[in-house]
């Protein structure tokens, strides 16, 4: 009997095993990190993979080389987005570890999705298209996981999110954090992310390095701050605070006209602010602070190639990194101004800054301006409402009050919005008239405290009950007439029906459930585009100002069952409300009538702005007016107030009797309810582009 078997594979030779092990025994290559990148790393340029060129981002050469320093244990880099900092500090360091000095590398991204995207879209293609690095990658399936890459010689690159478990029980040769200011300040109650990361290389003594890079994302905390040294940045949490604790280096050019050293900064750019943003940006030139000469944008690459970093010394002077006099700390820190960034033109930065500044002045919304300052210029931002001079006071609001009658919309009104807050035993209703370019006026404020006559227990004259929105969805029917109410327009022969009503869905236990029941009733009546449930989200890191979506889970962990909610970034919206309340009448202004009493003015001033957001002032209990003003703004944003072409507005924002919601005052009851807004005027969610 014969058997037909496949031949056995040859035995592995001892020589082959030894050869595979030899890379792990070789000493570290005596070349700098930048030289290693030039020799081994390929980067994507214009759709093709090319050798790394140190002349493209010269300001990254020193920080990259210092990743292998035996003198310093930590490195911090603060700069604008798209300056090449994450590209080189992460992939350049990984390249050095793979090819020259093997050891474990750990990369922390701002969340798991970002970690997966970076591993798949950035790291893997770079290794695959760099022949020397690709040859060193392990061949086993376990060597090529999404979040873990192993290489011959002993280097393992792991990628993860900022969690306490990811930082714990691990030793890393290089511990790298990117986009630090987009992470939580405290990770799972264990501490700040960089503090946790910096412990991982400590057992390797001087061979370990912890690095964090980011554009600033936290606000300036002190109003009247004065720098104590030439390179100190304002006091902030996150990456800027870490920078201030290091050697505090800035990037310098030598002026081609006078030869004096200066830091190229955005505030040194000269341009004509009277021109349109694109034209003003195209004319931008850098002014030397020493001789006043103007430097054209075409000279920027050459000046960058000859630029250099200067660190602070113990005596308050400036010196190169190799100088022993630089600050006696174990942390190198660098700050790059966006004006020197290789991939950001002066034209683009100036244009974006002008557009964002104009929007902040017109609409009272500083979120876009903050993005430009943080990510284009690379500086921390202080919202203007944190300044004492811009703080709201009841006395200041009283001085601003005008002769606007209560219950009437001004003659410039284009639409009316109503917001509702749920309190114990009542609904608090606030009505605002809106004009062009975000101008608005508070025209009425009242409570609804009686349940409908046909609600359970409401028709008994001997035992009348109070409104109970947490117990009876039928009590919410008192809000239905607000949609049909007509608000007279001052001096005109018509009024305007309410465009939309937005109601808070939180309060006493049970309020959320009853609110969802009423919303479903409005949906059955075809009114879901005019009645909105509102949910606020605190904090300054929300990526959108307003977004309309179904929640993942409803109240109590149940499935949401189709309920859609108008979500708002509460603290950011309140920033905009405060801006509007301090503006003169005109675009973006929030105008108040002199009928408003002291209690209502106090409610508008009930909170103060801190570095973390808005909080109630000591001893103050009521802030409904401030909250409701934010809800109204959210409704306007959802309807696309910022994008309306006022020369051709949607029918619900047209002027005069042509408005689809206009009702002749002769016989308002004879006029049918207006149709739903047409497709071209449907609400749009306005996205907030945060860092």
pLDDT of residue 553: 52
Give the single-character DSSP code of 91: I
Task: List the Cα angle 286/382/287 in 5-degree steps.
Answer: 10
Q: Is the pLDDT of residue 195 over 50?
A: yes
Which stretch of 167-176, 267-276, 428-437 has the lowest confidence by average pLDDT? 167-176
Strands 494-504 and 531-537: parallel
Give the pLDDT confidence of 478-503 residue by residue, as tens digits.
999 999 999 999 999 999 999 999 99
Kindly indicate the confidence band of residue 670, based on its pLDDT and cuts at 50, 70 and 90.
very low
pLDDT of residue 9: 72
Compare 26 and 404 and report the one with higher pLDDT. Answer: 404
Torsion of the alpha carbons at 579, 580, 586 and 592, rounded to the nearest 10: -140
Q: Is the pLDDT of residue 152 over 70?
A: yes
Give the pLDDT confidence of 344-391 residue by residue, as tens digits.
999 999 999 999 998 887 777 788 898 999 999 999 988 776 666 567
Do residues 239 and 85 touch, judged by C-beta distance below 8 A? no
Which stretch of 213-227, 511-525, 587-601 has the lowest confidence by average pLDDT? 213-227
Q: What six digits make up the tokens of 490?
A: 């001052």
Query: What's the maximum distance between 2 C-alpha atoms anywhere in the chain?
Result: 112
pLDDT of residue 683: 36
Q: What is the mean pLDDT of the chain?
A: 88
Torsion of the alpha carbons at 591, 595, 599 and 602, rounded to the nearest 10: 20
Any residues with CB less than 8 A from the CB of 91 and at least 6 apart, and which? Answer: 41, 43, 122, 123, 126
Q: Which long-range contacts (CB under 8 A, 24 or more apart) does 146-154 make?
A: 146/116, 146/119, 146/120, 147/115, 147/116, 147/119, 149/119, 149/123, 149/124, 151/98, 151/102, 152/20, 152/23, 152/24, 153/23, 153/24, 153/26, 153/98, 153/102, 154/23, 154/24, 154/102, 154/103
In this prediction, residues 423-440 reach a mean pLDDT of 95
Which stretch of 11-20, 90-99, 303-312, 487-496 has the lowest confidence by average pLDDT? 11-20
The total number of residues written for the chain in this structure:
691
Q: Is the pLDDT of residue 462 over 90?
A: no
Alpha carbon distance 472, 537 (integer Å): 26
pLDDT of residue 673: 44
Q: What six digits make up the tokens of 150?
A: 């192993």
Q: What six digits make up the tokens of 486?
A: 């007509």
**Tokens 């001892």 found at:** 14
Task: List the Cα angle 340/345/346 in 5-degree steps.
Answer: 80
Give the pLDDT confidence of 96-117 residue by residue, as tens digits.
999 999 999 999 999 999 999 9
Q: Is the pLDDT of residue 676 over 50?
A: no
Which stretch of 306-310, 539-543, 584-588, 592-596 has the lowest confidence by average pLDDT? 539-543
Q: What are φ and ψ of residue 533, in 5° steps?
A: -90, 140
Give the pLDDT confidence of 67-80 residue by residue, as tens digits.
999 999 999 999 99
Q: Can you list the domains of the chain with their CATH numbers?
A: 39-222+229-244 (3.40.50.300), 253-324+340-363 (no CATH), 390-454+464-681 (3.30.420)
Helix, coil or strand: residue 426: strand
Q: Which long-range contacts (CB under 8 A, 24 or more apart) does 302-308 make?
A: 303/253, 303/254, 303/256, 303/264, 304/57, 304/58, 304/59, 304/253, 304/340, 304/342, 305/55, 305/58, 306/253, 306/254, 307/58, 307/59, 307/251, 307/252, 307/253, 307/340, 308/62, 308/251, 308/252
Q: Which of 565, 548, 434 is nearest to 498 (CA)?
A: 434
Alpha carbon distance 511, 502 (integer Å): 15
- CB count within 10 Å of CB 314 equals 12
Q: CA-CA distances (angstroms) from residue 490 to 9, 404, 409, 443, 498?
A: 94, 9, 6, 11, 16
In this prediction, residues 330-342 reach a mean pLDDT of 96
Share of the chain above pLDDT 90, in %: 66
Share of the chain above pLDDT 70, in %: 91
- Among 308-312, 390-394, 571-575, the range of highest mean pLDDT: 308-312
Exposed e or buried b per residue across 507-540, where buried means at least 16 C-beta atoms within 10 angstroms of its C-beta: beeebbbbbbebbebbeeeebbebbbbbebeeeb
In this prediction, residues 32-41 reach a mean pLDDT of 95
Alpha carbon distance 405, 536 (integer Å): 31
pLDDT of residue 161: 93
Any residues with CB less than 8 A from the CB of 10 and at least 6 apart, and which? Answer: none
Give the pLDDT confidence of 251-287 residue by residue, as tens digits.
999 999 999 999 999 999 999 999 999 999 999 999 9
Q: What six digits make up the tokens of 309?
A: 């970093």
**Tokens 């609400």 found at:** 683
In this prediction, residues 465-485 reach a mean pLDDT of 92
Q: Is the pLDDT of residue 209 over 80?
A: yes
Kindly indicate the confidence band of residue 226, based on its pLDDT and cuts at 50, 70 and 90.
confident
Q: What six digits make up the tokens of 251?
A: 């990037």
Compare 552 and 446 and report the one with higher pLDDT. Answer: 446
Do residues 42 and 50 touch, judged by C-beta distance below 8 A? yes
Kindly indicate the confidence band of residue 680, based on its pLDDT and cuts at 50, 70 and 90.
very low
Do residues 73 and 201 touch, judged by C-beta distance below 8 A? yes
């Amino acid at each position: 009997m014969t058997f037909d078997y496949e031949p056995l594979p040859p035995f592995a030779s001892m020589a082959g095993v030894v050869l595979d092990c030899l890379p792990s025994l070789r000493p570290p290559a005596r070349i700098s990190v930048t030289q290693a990148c030039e020799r081994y790393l390929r980067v994507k340029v214009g759709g093709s993979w090319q050798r790394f060129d140190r002349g493209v981002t010269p300001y990254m050469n020193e920080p990259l080389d210092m990743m292998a320093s035996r003198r310093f244990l930590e490195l911090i880099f603060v700069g604008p987005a798209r300056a090449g900092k994450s590209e080189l500090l992460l992939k350049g360091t990984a390249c050095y570890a793979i090819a020259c000095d093997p050891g474990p590398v750990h990369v922390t991204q701002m969340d798991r999705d970002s970690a997966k995207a970076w591993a798949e879209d950035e790291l893997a293609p770079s290794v695959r298209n760099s022949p020397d690095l690709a040859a060193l990658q392990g061949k086993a399936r376990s060597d090529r996981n999404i979040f873990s890459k192993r290489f011959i010689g002993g280097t393992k690159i792991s990628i993860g999110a900022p969690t306490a478990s990811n930082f714990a029980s691990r030793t890393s040769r290089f511990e790298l954090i990117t986009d630090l200011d987009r992470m939580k300040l405290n990770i799972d109650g264990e501490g700040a992310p960089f503090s946790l990361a910096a412990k991982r290389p400590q057992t390797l003594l001087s061979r370990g390095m912890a690095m964090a890079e980011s554009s600033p994302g936290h606000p300036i905390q002190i109003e009247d701050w004065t720098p104590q040294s030439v390179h100190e940045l304002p006091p902030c949490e996150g990456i800027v605070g870490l920078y201030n604790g290091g050697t505090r280096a800035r990037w310098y050019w030598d002026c081609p006209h006078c030869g004096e050293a200066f830091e190229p900064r955005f505030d040194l750019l000269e341009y004509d602010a009277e021109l349109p943003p694109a034209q003003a940006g195209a004319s931008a030139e850098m002014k030397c602070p020493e001789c006043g000469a103007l430097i054209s944008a075409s000279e920027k690459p050459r000046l960058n190639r000859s630029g250099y970093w200067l660190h602070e010394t113990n005596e308050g002077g400036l010196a190169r990194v190799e100088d022993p006099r630089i600050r006696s700390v174990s942390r190198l820190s660098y700050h790059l101004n966006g004006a020197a960034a290789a991939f950001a033109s002066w034209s683009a930065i100036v244009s974006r800054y002008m557009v964002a500044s104009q929007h902040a002045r017109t609409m009272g919304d500083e979120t876009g301006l903050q993005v430009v300052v943080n990510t284009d210029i690379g500086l921390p931002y202080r919202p203007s409402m944190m300044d004492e001079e811009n703080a709201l006071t009841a006395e200041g609001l009283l001085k601003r009050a005008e002769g606007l009658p209560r219950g009437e919309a001004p003659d410039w009104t284009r639409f009316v919005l109503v917001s509702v807050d749920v309190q114990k035993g009542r609904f608090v209703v606030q009505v605002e008239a809106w004009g062009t370019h975000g101008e608005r006026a508070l025209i009425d404020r009242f409570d609804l405290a009686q349940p409908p006559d046909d609600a359970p227990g409401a028709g008994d004259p001997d035992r009348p009950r109070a409104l109970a929105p947490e117990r009876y969805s039928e009590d919410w029917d008192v809000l239905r007439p607000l949609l049909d109410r007509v608000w007279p327009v001052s001096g005109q022969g018509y009024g305007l029906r309410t465009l939309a009503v937005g109601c808070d869905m939180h309060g006493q236990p049970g309020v959320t459930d009853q609110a969802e029941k009423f919303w479903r009733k409005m949906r059955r009546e075809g009114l879901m585009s005019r009645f909105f449930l509102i949910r606020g989200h605190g904090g300054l890191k929300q990526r959108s100002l307003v977004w309309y979506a179904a929640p993942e889970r409803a109240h109590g962990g149940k499935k949401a069952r189709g309920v859609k909610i108008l979500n708002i970034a509460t603290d950011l919206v309140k920033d905009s409300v405060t801006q509007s309340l301090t503006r003169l009448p005109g675009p973006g202004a929030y105008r108040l009538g002199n009928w408003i009493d002291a209690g209502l003015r106090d409610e508008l001033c009930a909170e103060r702005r801190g570095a973390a957001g808005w909080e109630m002032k000591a001893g103050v209990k009521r802030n409904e007016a401030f909250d409701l003003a934010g809800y109204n703004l959210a409704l306007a944003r959802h309807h696309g107030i910022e994008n309306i072409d006022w020369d051709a507005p949607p029918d619900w924002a047209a002027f005069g009797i042509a408005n689809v919601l206009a009702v002749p005052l002769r016989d308002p009851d004879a006029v049918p309810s207006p149709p739903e807004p047409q497709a071209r005027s449907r609400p749009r969610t306005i996205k907030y582009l945060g860092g």
